[in-house]
Amino acid sequence: MKKTNRKCTSSARPAILCGAAVGSLALCLYLYTDILTTVIARRRSRVLERLTKKKDAPIDPDAEIIRHSEEVMRSLPTEAVSITARDGTPLRGHWYHAESPRRLLIMVHGWHSTWRINFGTSAPFYHGCGCELLFIEQRCHGESGGKMISYGIKERFDVLDWLDYAQSVHPELPVYLCGLSMGASTVLMTAGEPVADRVTAVIADCGYTSPKEVVAASVKKRIGPATGPTMAAVNLNCRLRGGFGLDDYSTLTAMDRDTDIPVLFIHGDADTLVPCRMSMENYIACRAPKELYIVHDAPHATAYLKETEAYQARVKQFFATWDHRLDRSNRAGEAGDNHPEAVAHTEME
């Protein structure tokens, strides 16, 4: 009897080892996919922020200006506001009020960035032009809630909720959606929704064509040949954990919608993070009135610094052209009816 047990144990040993190997491989693949999903589509922890801060810091000569502008933004008399998104996610925003404002701008920052960093250099210009500025913190960033970053797929609906709130405060002002990087693609996707009678125009600085394409390009730089399988695994993870796929929606799809919201596309031709060709493709796909402004030798998100005066002139002309596209004089009080409960609390910072 003992000999039989030894034989059974001996014959089962390869199966056990094979099972252990398969289990170990599955665990490694799970951890690999989860780590990449964390880098791509989750909020960065404080530890990860410290580890990546030096690596992600701008390396161009404008870095010091950007850092200084961020500090200046902290001293501005902004007002913190909160709303609840239609899916229950708490969202945070910051008003920078203007005296006798001529227009309202909803400012949307980029991936793993902040409103202070992305708009620190340009905010004084916009404010000086008589713009009421509402800086929003995208879901899964800053003090806003959310489990995963969807690269504009879900965030476009958050912008709609902010639009409801903003127009309940200033129903008489023309509204512009302004975004940088992921924020640019977010506002472009928002423009693909039925808001042509509510949004005056859009300013999109260095936006990408689709979440899938920009993420795949970033992943390819790091892991090369394994990009395809990795993207499939990450996409499945996003679907299971976040309820979205990176190919669910795109900026190109939004721009091909039958809408007449004017768009000013801006991009630097030295952008290695989001290639300049993506704004060109968005421009070609856009069926609305449009302008394309390419800034020579500007890396990612630095077009304003590279050609400050020219940038300001283009934006001022854009405002002058489209401020009166929509007549809001007879619509005061109508905005915000869909979400009258939107404002959760307001506090001075």
Cα separation of 80 and 143, whole Å?
Answer: 11
Percent of the chain with pLDDT over 70: 79
Each residue of 225-236: b (16+ CB within 10 Å) or e? eebeebbebbbe
Q: Are 159 and 106 in contact (CB under 8 A)?
A: yes
CATH topology of domain 58-210+249-348: Rossmann fold (3.40.50)
Given pLDDT bands bounded at 50, 70 and 90, which one contains residue 335? very low
For the residues of 133-189, what is the DSSP string, one character each? EEEEE-TTSTT---S---TTTTHHHHHHHHHHHHHHH-TTS-EEEEEETHHHHHHHH
Quick one: which of 319, 25, 14, 16 has its CA closest to 173? 319
Report pLDDT for 39. 76
Which residue is associated with the tokens 């998100």?
301
| Segment among 55-64, 80-89, 187-196 with least mean pLDDT | 55-64
pLDDT digits (tens, 9 = 90+) for 310-319: 999 999 999 9
Quick one: which of 188, 58, 200, 165 has its CA closest to 118? 58
Q: How would you class 138 by CB atoms within 10 Å of its CB: exposed for 0-12, middle for 13-18, buried for 19 or more?
A: buried
Report pLDDT for 29. 59
Report pLDDT for 8. 54
Rg (CA), the chain: 23
Find the helix packing angle between 211-223 and 227-242, rounded to 10°: 130
Residues sharing a CB contact under 8 Å with residue 309, sequence separation 6 or more, in sequence order:
none
Domain residue spans of the chain: 58-210+249-348
| Segment among 191-195, 273-277, 337-341 with least mean pLDDT | 337-341
Report pLDDT for 33. 67
Cα separation of 267 and 300, whole Å?
Answer: 8
Read off the amino acid at residue 308.
T
| Segment among 6-20, 58-72, 249-263, 310-324 with least mean pLDDT | 6-20
Mean predicted confidence (pLDDT) in 141-157? 96
Given pLDDT bands bounded at 50, 70 and 90, which one contains residue 38? confident
pLDDT digits (tens, 9 = 90+) for 75-95: 999 999 999 999 999 999 999
Q: Are 264 and 311 in contact (CB under 8 A)?
A: no
Provide the sign of the torsion angle of the four alpha carbons 293, 294, 296, 297, taken in this order: positive
For residue 108, what is the DSSP state?
A: E
Q: Is the pLDDT of residue 344 over 70?
A: no
- Please, how many CA atoms are within 13 Å of residue 46, restricted to the half-sphere of its CB? 0
Q: Across the strands, what pairs with 131? A: 103
Q: Are 189 and 249 in contact (CB under 8 A)?
A: yes
Q: Is the pLDDT of residue 211 over 70?
A: yes
229 vs 23, residue with greater confidence? 229
Which residue is associated with the tokens 């007449």?
260
Q: What is the mean pLDDT of the chain?
A: 86
Q: Are 134 and 162 in contact (CB under 8 A)?
A: yes
Cα separation of 198 and 175, whole Å?
Answer: 7
Residues sharing a CB contact under 8 Å with residue 237, sequence separation 6 or more, in sequence order:
33, 34, 37
Q: Are 186 and 179 in contact (CB under 8 A)?
A: yes
| Segment among 173-182, 252-261, 310-319, 325-334 with least mean pLDDT | 325-334
Cα separation of 82 and 136, whole Å?
Answer: 9
Report pLDDT for 333. 42
Mean predicted confidence (pLDDT) in 56-83? 83
Cα separation of 222 and 228, whole Å?
Answer: 13
Mean predicted confidence (pLDDT) in 199-210? 98
Provide the sign of the torsion angle of the four alpha carbons 93, 94, 98, 100, taken in this order: positive
Given pLDDT bands bounded at 50, 70 and 90, which one contains residue 249? very high
Q: Across the strands, what pairs with 94? A: 80, 135
Report pLDDT for 11. 64
Report pLDDT for 192. 96
Measured CA distances, 101 to 64, 132, 173, 175, 202 (Å): 31, 6, 8, 11, 18
Which residue is associated with the tokens 């009421």?
132
